[in-house]
Structure 1
Amino acid sequence: MRLDHRQVGGRCGECQAWGTVEETGTAVARTTAATTVLEPARKIADVDATTAAFLPTGVDELDRVLGGGLVPGAVILLAGEPGVGKSTLLLDVAAKFARTGQDVLYVTGEESAAR
């Protein structure tokens, strides 16, 4: 059974008339760093991926898979079976960047409580 929008909320709360509700947007000013736009939005077709500033990880195969290395500010999700070396690989890469003064954030979400 398909519901009409009037059956689920199309009645005006003030005048009780049906079919008079209109969607409007309300801009909310936010000043937190998390919502600061560093660059204006662009169409993906207008982005030149060849100009990205890649940071080589020092692991040739990882750099190849990543298209040349890590891109500053990127988020990478690495998944695989337990014990294949994901943590070892990424901790080695993180240590390399930390030794050169780069900021590193290592987040894990699959470790057991005992680990």
Structure 2
Amino acid sequence: MTTHIKKISDTTIDLLDKVSTSTSRAGTTIERAGKMYAKGVPKKVIAVQLTENSKSGNEYTETHVDACIMLYTDAQTKVGITKSQATALIEDQTRDNLPSELQQNGLSCNLNN
């Protein structure tokens, strides 16, 4: 009976994953990779699973899994990049990459979505 309930729960969660946002899916993926590693799943196996599930054809390595584990660990206490930091860095990057004639005229892009 417990196995049947677990299968229903897993199926429901998988369905919710499909309709969630990319932000939510990324966070969920990092959390799952971190938890798998914490429970002893080898990094190589996690990398293979990520590669197999990649709709973009990305090939993951143990180094990529290390990054997921680092993010998972850091996210236990706080967000790694705040919204205000991201906004400021994007605006700086956008301003730095504008053609000089646009910079001189004070034009910029609003990327706050």
TM-score of the superposed pair, with normalisation by structure 1: 0.25
The structure that is helix-richer by fraction is 2
Looking at both structures, which has the greater relative contact order when contacts are Cα pairs under 8 Å and sequence separation is at least 6? 2
TM-score of the superposed pair, with normalisation by structure 2: 0.25
Larger radius of gyration: 1
